[in-house]
Structure 1
Amino acid sequence: MPIPARAGVVARSLLRDDAFRAIRDAIVNGTLAPGERLNDGELAQWLGVSRTPVREALARLEEAGLVRTRPGRYTMVSPLDLRALRGAQSVTTALHELAVREALPNLSAAELDAMRAANTRFAQALQANDVDAAIAADDDFHGVMVAASANAALRSVLDQFTPALRRLERLRFASLSGRGSVAQHERIIARCEAGDVEGAVAATRVNWQTLAPLLETAIDEDEPDTPT
């Protein structure tokens, strides 16, 4: 397994949560590519931790659909799977709609400003073709509503399903198709500022459903070959 060039990027004192986030981010940003074999010893060396938190992180990543394991045979980065991504999109869309419903009645002017600032960063990142920055800004934009909803269960489920979609979104934000999200974000902000709950929910739904074309065109319907 080729590992990233920089070793020891995670302090030795960090445990499974940090290992989970580091490996998850490497999968989402493409450093660890779909179908790539994962070796817990090499990952532990890269992260500067023992194998135990790495193994625990890999188990969590399997639950999130980012890693596939066959005991005694292999551990690999999961290929993009159409059925799983459709399910993740449905769940994620519904939960972001719920976040809007729960957050909007008490949304502050400061939170609206935070959404505007995130969308400005998002637009700038797209203009610069900086996919990583675009994804981070998009996370910040939607994260305002998630945080304002103060719903820990909602956040927990989104943390599980969103990373799988972010792998797909890298394709969208790397192309012109991602530019429409800036205007969609602006519509969400406008509806929120007007106190229009149903309008904001509908605009949020439209924004998350823009992934649907990628689900149909970017992923082969056939199951990828399994390592032997």
Structure 2
Amino acid sequence: MTALEPVPRRLLRDKAYDALVEAIVSGELPPGQKLHDGELAEKLGLSRAPVRQALARLAGERLVVSKPQSYTRVAPVVAEEIRDALAVVQAMHALAVRTAVPHLAEEHLARMRAANAAFVAALDAEDPAAAVAADDALHAVPIEVCGNEALAETVRRYTPLLRRLERRRFSSAAARASAARHDALIDACAAGDTEAAVALSGEIWGGLDAEEAAGAPDAR
């Protein structure tokens, strides 16, 4: 089964976007791969319009590079760009945790625990896509509770650049360390220990390695 299969007719732009992100992150569409909206539309069972809309969004997120009337390609993995995005995302998550900890209720902690259980189950099943989704669900809780929409929008803007990085990590044995850090983060949040929770958030996001993902200082 591949990511580029026909998708349901509802929310076609979002479905096309999700399928293309998965194909890029998984390597089915590797860096430098030329993208033709007609071919992609045929594989996805869609018209060209939602595919073009999805490609435009991906270009804005720098997962795709495009030159009008010339080409559209999967973007290369560039360590410098990833380092910049990672620094921003790491700082935003730390701020979310710092703001949220005093306001986390048991229902929020329960959601975080459930998300980490799903994360571990995804690792056991060797399903990195599910692991990424579970990781998102866990970290979404402090972002939601902190209530800072500018922060949330910044995370949404820059997280796509980190997807290939996350996918690689969650496909390796190193992902087990992420699960343990998640548990420690939840424990610190439950104890109301803001400083420990912020430090653990930094460790979690600092565990991603931009250089490893790129395979070189600059993989252009």
* TM surpasses 0.5: yes
Q: Is the 8 A contact 2:3 2:20 kept in 1?
A: no
Residues 150 and 26 of structure 1, relative CA distance in 2, 3 Å threshold:
farther
In structure 2, distance between residues paired with 1:29 and 1:155: 25
Query: What residue in structure 1 maps to residue 8 of structure 2?
Result: 10
Query: What residue in structure 1 maps to residue 181 of structure 2?
Result: 184
Q: Is the 8 A contact 1:126 1:173 kept in 2?
A: yes
Deviations 1:78-108 (A, max 9, x none): 1111111001100110111121122222111
| TM-score of the two chains, using structure 1 as the length reference | 0.87
Alignment counterpart, residue 108 of structure 1, candidates 102, 105, 109: 105
In structure 1, distance between residues paired with 2:11 and 2:80: 34
Residues 21 and 159 of structure 1, relative CA distance in 2, 3 Å threshold:
farther
Unaligned runs of 5+ in 1: none
Alignment counterpart, residue 74 of structure 1, candidates 67, 71, 85: 71
Counterpart secondary structure, 2:174: helix
Alignment counterpart, residue 45 of structure 1, candidates 42, 47, 60: 42
Q: Is the 8 A contact 1:14 1:49 kept in 2?
A: no
In structure 1, distance between residues paired with 2:67 and 2:92: 31
In structure 1, distance between residues paired with 2:111 and 2:62: 31
Counterpart secondary structure, 1:176: coil
Alignment counterpart, residue 133 of structure 1, candidates 130, 135, 141: 130
In structure 2, distance between residues paired with 1:55 and 1:104: 41
Q: Is the 8 A contact 1:100 1:201 kept in 2?
A: yes
Query: How many matched pairs?
Result: 218
Query: What residue in structure 1 maps to residue 24 of structure 2?
Result: 27
Counterpart secondary structure, 1:68: strand
Deviations 1:130-180 (A, max 9, x none): 212211111111111122222222222212211221211111111111110
Give 1:203's aligned amino acid.
Answer: L
Residues 33 and 72 of structure 1, relative CA distance in 2, 3 Å threshold:
same
> Is residue 210 of structure 2 the alignment partner of residue 221 of structure 1?
no
- Measured after TM superposition, the shift of residue 223 of structure 1 is 4.0
Asked which structure has the greater RCO (Cα within 8 Å, sep 6+), the reply is 2
> Is residue 146 of structure 2 the alignment partner of residue 149 of structure 1?
yes
RMSD across aligned C-alpha pairs, in angstroms?
A: 2.0
Residues 223 and 63 of structure 1, relative CA distance in 2, 3 Å threshold:
same
Runs (4+) off by over 4 Å: none
Unaligned runs of 5+ in 2: none
- The correspondence of residues 88-107 of structure 1 with structure 2, limited to 5 A, is 88-107=85-104
Residues 114 and 207 of structure 1, relative CA distance in 2, 3 Å threshold:
same
Residues 5 and 141 of structure 1, relative CA distance in 2, 3 Å threshold:
closer
Deviates more, 1:144-153 or 1:85-94: 144-153
Q: Among all aligned residue pairs of Structure 1 and Structure 2, give the percentage whose two residues are the same amino acid.
A: 47
Deviates more, 1:90-99 or 1:37-46: 37-46
- Measured after TM superposition, the shift of residue 206 of structure 1 is 0.7
| TM-score of the two chains, using structure 2 as the length reference | 0.90
